[in-house]
Amino acid sequence: MDETHLTQLGREVRGFDNPQDAVLERVPNPQADVLYLARFTAPEFTSLCPVTGQPDFAHLVIDYAPGDWLIESKSLKLYLGAFRSHGAFHEDCTVAIGRRIVETAAPRWLRIGGYWFPRGGIPIDVFWQTGPAPEGLWIPDQGVASYRGRG
């Protein structure tokens, strides 16, 4: 995707019914010569259970070290929103989001943490990264406490 063809930023966009149709866009990184970490946090992510159709909720934390491209945040918001009517297991949603960002922006490094709220009494946390973090990259804790229930 060429940065001159942004289709959503500054425009009214209806949204997408599924993540496959969502357009994830990128923009040039003006600091491409610097190793740094950018973080997106989506504390109210939702998708659907592929078996029951019931909603699933997660707190997503996406950390990436940009290369030549940045993920355009409005397109990311619309992409993540497209999961609201999409049925997939927690593991599939989390890893698919990470892989789509890598496919779009080719970051130096990426990790995603999907902290899923319990269903059936079991929280499922899903983590994926592209490989070892680049040497010298400061990577703060994702800041999401392990699920503790009422205790």
| Catalytic residue selected from 33, 49, 63, 141 | 49
Distance CA 43, CA 3 (A): 28
The structure tokens listed for 115 are 């902290």
| Catalytic residue selected from 56, 92, 93, 141 | 56
Alpha helices in 2-114 (DSSP H): 73-81, 90-105
Question: Which residue, among 103, 67, 79, 76, has the nearest Cα to 21 in the 3D structure?
Answer: 79
Question: Half-sphere exposure of 42 toward its Cβ, with a 13 Å CA cutoff?
Answer: 24
Is 33 known to be catalytic? no
Question: Which residue, among 130, 108, 112, 100, has the nearest Cα to 1 in the 3D structure?
Answer: 100
Distance CA 111, CA 123 (A): 20
Secondary structure of residue 119 in the 3-state scheme: strand
Is 49 known to be catalytic? yes
Catalytic residues: 49, 56
